[in-house]
């Protein structure tokens, strides 16, 4: 194949954006695809924590692939969010401060 690149950056950025929205919806306890996969789990309190961890893992995986493939992914996030992703651990800090302004219009509309 030589030096030709088979990576489509737009594809990865699109998938990254989808994963970010899914994670943010999971943080807000809003509906995601995961709810459809496990509808019987909705009545269990630990389901929402598990859903967040799954969404976080998906986001980390796609960001990691972007990193490995040389696709610039950081522009899709605030500096604070990039820092969280680079640390890789979903801590209480990530859960509490992912949205820099929890009262922003963007946050309320998601």
Q: What is the pLDDT of residue 44?
A: 85
10: tokens are 């737009």
Which residue ranges make up each domain of the chain? 14-109
Prediction pTM value: 0.82
Nearest to 27 by CA among 58, 48, 41: 48
Question: Residue 54: phi, psi to the nearest 5?
Answer: -65, -45
Write out the two tokens for 51: 């859903």
Better-scored residue on pLDDT, 12 or 3? 12
Which two tokens mark 82?
A: 């990039």
Q: What is the pLDDT of residues 8-40, one digit of tens each?
A: 999 999 999 999 999 999 999 899 998 888 888
CB 86 within 8 A of CB 73: no
**b/e code 6-42 from CB counts within 10 Å (16+ = b):** eeeeeebbeebeebbebbbbbbeeeebebbeeeeeee
Give dist(CA 84, CA 60) in Å, integer.
10
* CA–CA separation, 110 and 62 (whole Å): 21
The model's pLDDT over 42-61, given as tens digits with 9 standing for 90+, comes to: 788 788 889 999 999 999 99
């Amino acid at each position: 194949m030589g030096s030709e690149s088979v990576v489509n950056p737009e594809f990865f950025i699109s998938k990254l954006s989808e994963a970010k929205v899914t994670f943010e919806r999971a943080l807000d306890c809003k509906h995601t695809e995961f709810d459809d996969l496990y509808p019987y789990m909705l009545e269990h309190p630990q389901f929402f924590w598990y859903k967040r961890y799954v969404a976080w893992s998906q986001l980390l995986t796609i960001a990691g692939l972007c990193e490995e493939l040389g696709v610039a992914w950081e522009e899709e996030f605030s500096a604070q969010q990039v820092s969280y992703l680079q640390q890789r651990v979903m801590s209480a800090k990530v859960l509490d401060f992912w949205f820099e302004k929890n009262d922003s219009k963007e946050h309320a509309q998601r």
